[in-house]
Amino acid sequence: MIIGTVRILPPSGRHADVLEVLQSVQGPVRAQPGCVACDIYQEQGPEPAVVFVERWDTDAALAAHLRSDMYRRILGAIELSSDQPEIRFEHVSAS
């Protein structure tokens, strides 16, 4: 399984915009072949962040997703980050 995590720090007044973009792609991403889960979290605190977490069953499924129009929309949300976004892909073989 591959877990992709994107942590975005929206600028003041743009938090809702980031959430709107990510929520609009959440259902279609979940419907893509190989998607195990797709969730959105909101961190509270001095630097409120939006965290988008995807779980994929194969590298091929993730690669197809990264080339999709849905991922272009996710990249648009990432570009709204007021600070360096955090993007990670982790391969999990057991838990």
- Residues 17-55: pLDDT tens digits? 999 999 999 999 999 999 999 999 999 888 889 999 999
pLDDT at residue 35, as a whole number: 97
Query: Average pLDDT, stretch 84-88?
Result: 95
Sign for the CA dihedral angle at 59, 75, 22, 67 comes to negative
Average pLDDT, the chain: 94
pLDDT higher than threshold 80 for residue 95 = no
End-to-end CA distance of the chain: 10
pTM: 0.92
- Written as six digits, the tokens of 81 are 């980050």
Query: Average pLDDT, stretch 61-66?
Result: 96
Of 52, 58, 7, nearest to 32 (Cα)? 58
